[in-house]
Structures are given as C-alpha cells and as structure tokens.
C-alpha cells in the first residue's frame, strides 16, 4: 500500500472536491466536507501539512484507498 502524500489541508480539500465532495462549513481549524448520499462527513485540518496518519484516516472515511486518492490528485 502506498504512503499518503504530503499535502496541506487546502490541497486535500481540492482533491476531495474533484471527487464530488463539497465544503459544508469551516471553522478556525478545520474544513468540514460533505457529499450527497454519504452518511459520513470529512473533517480536514486546515494546516500547512496534514499528518500522513490523519490523511490516511480521512481517505478511509471517504471509502477510498490511498491509491485512488493519489490518482485523483
């Protein structure tokens, strides 16, 4: 299994937007993304660099593999 890439929170948001997710709301530290017909929402930290373990968990919550996420990049 490939390792998640090093990305900022805003770069992660752009990838998920290309996969059909949209920004539901923002607060000072996180960007919440939602998708129609999905029960889960994604909480993406608005940091300069998202930790690889955190990004892996976000990708899993979106029912994607790391490879699928990288391909959408």
Which residue ranges make up each domain of the chain?
A: 9-72
pLDDT of residue 39: 87
Topology classification of domain 9-72:
Metal Transport, Frataxin; Chain A (3.30.920)
Tens-digit pLDDT profile for the chain (73 aa)? 789 999 999 999 999 999 999 999 998 899 999 999 988 899 999 999 999 999 999 999 999 999 999 999 8
Query: What is the distance, to the nearest Å, from the Cα of residue 53 to the centroid of all Cα atoms in its chain?
Result: 12
Note the pLDDT of residue 28: 85
Q: Would the pTM count as exceeding 0.85? A: yes
pLDDT at 36: 93
DSSP codes joined into one string, 12-70: HHHHHHHTT-EEEEE-SSEEEEE-TT-S--EEEE-SSS--HHHHHHHHHHTT--HHHHH
Quote the pLDDT of residue 51: 97
């Amino acid at each position: 299994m490939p390792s998640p890439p090093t990305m900022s929170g805003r770069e992660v948001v752009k990838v998920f937007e290309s996969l059909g997710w949209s920004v539901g709301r923002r607060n000072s530290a996180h960007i919440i993304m939602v998708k129609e017909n999905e029960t889960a929402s994604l909480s993406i930290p608005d940091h300069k660099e998202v930790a690889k373990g955190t990004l892996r968990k976000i990708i899993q919550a979106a029912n994607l593999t790391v490879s699928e996420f990288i391909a959408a990049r």
